[in-house]
A and B are shown apart, each in its own frame.
Chain A
Amino acid sequence: MRLITERPDTRPTPAASRDRGGPQQPILIVNGLRKYFPIKGGLLQRKVAEVKAVDGVDFSVMKGETLGIVGESGCGKSTLARLLMHLIPKDEGELIFDGDPVDDIRGLSLRDLRRDLQMVFQDSYSSLNPRLPIQDSIAYGPRVHGVGKAEAAALAADLLNKVGLRPSMFGARYPHELSGGQRQRVNIARALALDPRMLILDEAVSALDKSVEAQVLNLLSRLKRELNLTYLFISHDLSVVQYVSDRVLVMYLGQVVEIGPVDAIYAAPRHPYTRALLDSRLSMNPLERMSEPPLSGDPPNPVNPPSGCRFRTRCAFAESVCAERQPRLAAADGGAHLVACHMADAESGHGRAGLSAPLH
């Protein structure tokens, strides 16, 4: 058992010795997570509506895997990341980190969670303190967790080496003196400073140029191998997600529509939204041009999502049952591939229900 009374000696222990549940225990379990943002208006600033940003999300992340999360802007993927980090309070739901409930009286404190779970943000500049040399930014976390000054500085130098920046050359620089790719390396080093076991990468490579993106992706895969990390990789770029992920989770308007192994999802998507998203990828071959867009319209407003299945307003196969009942996330092929669509459920009453062939 962990002893909370051990504080204030909070010096980091090696990540491996903090593994409690064993390899079969998912590192993160999310149950029924929900977050509505109130919209205030009128004379008294009362709540007039709610943005249903994350609405009942369940999934788990196994140790050592990379789970990719894809979806369009406004689907709630960044809100989800912030909820997992406890940067914003959740409305409802449960988080279990390696067997321990988070922020619960018997569970893991936020301080412990943040040692094990760290995050890299999209905007590499705004997520660094402009007034701190980067080596101090990296050493800041360990200092807060009780590491001595000299030790923290040595740790920062070591981390800079790990992410491919020479400490003697870069350590004393300020964020504005670095390029976007270098800054993102600093952010990764900082996220690693507390020796975490899991990283949330929220669009961490999206703002980078393609050649720099490739460098950072290679760095991430090397760090994952060397440090035995688990990644939650959020991106809107489907090719990048396919390249890095073991499993993929597809979100639409605050809900999970499909989750499964990357090859199963990319080869045979079962949800019409996933299919449309994959068809929207642009071919690199000028001879294979798109003649019709795979999906028309924009995502609906999350303040007032459609009844039943939220995708039905843009779905080519929508029937009356789709407006009446919300599809549940259920196994599509009896395995790890789950989908929330009436067509995948033989008893839903949808005209195409139970057709085993993938959509085309």
Chain B
Amino acid sequence: MPLDALADATPAGVQIARPLVEVRDLNVRFVSRDSRTNAVNGVSFSLQAGEVLCIIGESGSGKSVTMRALMKMLPEGKTRIEGYLRVGEHLIADMTDRQMRAIRGAEVSMIFQEPMTALDPVCTIGQQIAETIMRHEGCSRKVADARALELLQVVRIPSPERRLKAYPHELSGGLRQRSMIAIALSCRPRLLLADEPTTALDATVQAQVLVLMRKLQRELGMAMIFVTHDLGVAAQIADKVAVMYAGRMVEYGPVAEVLNSPRHPYTRAMLASNVHGHARGEDLDTIPGSPPDMRRPIRGCAFAPRCKVARTSCAIEPPPVVHLGPDRYFACIANDASAEAAAT
């Protein structure tokens, strides 16, 4: 697998704290009677406590699947997960369903794109928050209710006493997503997984939720993995960025470096095709073609058929991983100056 060198990416002699999350050589396949879909192919990364990692990619790139594998939230029986997955002291692969239930919501929480489908429509917001707290901390209903009220204040929901008694359908999209965040934070998780949490929101509300999430993440010192397809969202919230294409991480690094000086041709093409600040009447630089069929095994670089700087060797062997520093790499053969000139 191309990226397994990541584990030894730290130069010898430099002592850093043990990361909160460690993923090595993660492979996820969906198996059905007539096909095998290779959704995630050899993904490795680590995350320090209190750090925000954004996974960027288009639909089908495996970004959500990577995150769900960490929570063991993929359909059992149809999914084959391989690789080393660690969150805190827990080795996810070895855990039973019962053990998983104990850490879901307590140590690792998740928020989703569509809060209306993630919330229970027949329970009030207050009941849903209190339920989580009572389940994990075994406290009384009264204590849990008080915490629920406090949480609604933390996520800045106006008139929280009234909102505790509201059902999800009575709230607007922005308030629903804030309630979702309140439930996720109710047991002070060390890791928050967020799957496109602002994509369904309006521009003005998206800005509010992003600013709120960043503030809460910093105050609580949580680590966060944030999946998005929106580069603007990543620029606002991430410390580190991982770019995924066809189930592989093709580029990784601090957010400013990846967005301002991308090295992988896919990252560059994605940034160039953005309409942001593009002059009218001028055609956009598009990426020709479409992503590969994940049911077929890919031998070389998955991006090669659409790549401007591809060479014949790209289709044959997997691209080498080029490390530019302890936490900056990209997977491409074209890493010399001539290829760079051709790409820009």
Q: C-beta contact mask, B250-280 vs A, less than 8 Å → 1, else 0?
A: 0000011001100000000111011111101
Contact A73–B210 (Cβ < 8 Å): no
Is B153 engaged at the interface, CB distance under 8 Å to the other chain?
A: no
Chain A residue with minimal CB distance to B174?
A: A298
Chain A min CB distance to B225 (Å): 17
Within 8 A of B (CB), among A176-233: 179-182, 209-215, 217-218, 221
Cα of A214 to Cα of B290 in the assembled complex, Å? 12
Which has the most chain A C-beta neighbours within 10 Å: B255, B285, B287?
B287
Comparing B8-16, B102-110, B138-146, B199-207, the segment that makes contact with chain A is B199-207
Is A51 engaged at the interface, CB distance under 8 Å to the other chain?
A: no
Chain A residue with minimal CB distance to B215?
A: A291
Q: C-beta contact mask, B283-319 vs A, less than 8 Å → 1, else 0?
A: 1111100100000000000000000000000000000
With contacts A281-B203, A293-B211 taken as known, whether A298 is within 8 angstroms of B172 at the C-beta atoms is: yes
Contact A211–B287 (Cβ < 8 Å): yes
Cα of A156 to Cα of B210 in the assembled complex, Å? 46
Contact A280–B238 (Cβ < 8 Å): no
Contact A282–B235 (Cβ < 8 Å): yes
Q: How many residues of A contact B (CB 8 A)?
A: 47
Chain B residue with minimal CB distance to A217?
A: B284
Comparing B116-124, B128-136, B226-234, the segment that makes contact with chain A is B226-234
Residues of A within 8 A of B283 (CB): 218, 221
Which has the most chain B C-beta neighbours within 10 Å: A238, A280, A282, A291?
A282
Chain B residue with minimal CB distance to A179?
A: B290
Chain B residue with minimal CB distance to A182?
A: B290
Contact A294–B275 (Cβ < 8 Å): no
Contact A236–B203 (Cβ < 8 Å): yes
Within 8 A of B (CB), among A216-263: 217-218, 221, 236, 238-240, 242-245, 262
Cα of A295 to Cα of B174 in the assembled complex, Å? 12
Is A285 engaged at the interface, CB distance under 8 Å to the other chain?
A: yes
Cα of A57 to Cα of B58 in the assembled complex, Å? 37
Within 8 A of B (CB), among A270-287: 276-277, 279-287
Is B99 engaged at the interface, CB distance under 8 Å to the other chain?
A: no
Chain A min CB distance to B159 (Å): 12
Contact B275–A217 (Cβ < 8 Å): yes
Q: How many residues of B contact A (CB 8 A)?
A: 46
Is A49 engaged at the interface, CB distance under 8 Å to the other chain?
A: no
Cα of A6 to Cα of B154 in the assembled complex, Å? 69
Residues of A within 8 A of B280 (CB): 242-245, 262
Chain B min CB distance to A258 (Å): 15
Contact B235–A283 (Cβ < 8 Å): yes
Contact A211–B269 (Cβ < 8 Å): yes
Chain A residue with minimal CB distance to B284?
A: A214
Contact B232–A282 (Cβ < 8 Å): yes
Chain A residue with minimal CB distance to B205?
A: A298
Within 8 A of A (CB), among B166-212: 172-175, 202-208, 210-211
Contact A291–B202 (Cβ < 8 Å): no
Cα of A238 to Cα of B214 in the assembled complex, Å? 23
With contacts A239-B275, A244-B280, A281-B232 taken as known, whether A286 is within 8 angstroms of B255 at the C-beta atoms is: yes
Which of these, B210, B259, B281, B286, contacts A290 with CB under 8 Å?
A: B210
Residues of A within 8 A of B271 (CB): 284
Cα of A283 to Cα of B278 in the assembled complex, Å? 14
Contact B207–A294 (Cβ < 8 Å): yes
Is A347 engaged at the interface, CB distance under 8 Å to the other chain?
A: no
Which of these, A181, A218, A286, A298, contacts B284 with CB under 8 Å?
A: A218
Cα of A214 to Cα of B284 in the assembled complex, Å? 6
With contacts A211-B58, A236-B202, A280-B204 taken as known, whether A298 is within 8 angstroms of B275 at the C-beta atoms is: no
Cα of A226 to Cα of B231 in the assembled complex, Å? 32
Cα of A296 to Cα of B173 in the assembled complex, Å? 14
Residues of A within 8 A of B278 (CB): 243
Q: List 14 extra interface pairs beyond A236-B203, A281-B232, CB under 8 A.
A: A72-B202, A210-B58, A211-B286, A214-B275, A214-B284, A221-B281, A239-B275, A245-B280, A280-B207, A284-B235, A286-B256, A290-B211, A295-B207, A298-B172
Give me 6 A-to-B residue pairs in the complex whose CB atoms sit less than 8 angstroms apart, sorted by A's number: A72-B202, A236-B202, A277-B204, A280-B203, A282-B235, A290-B210
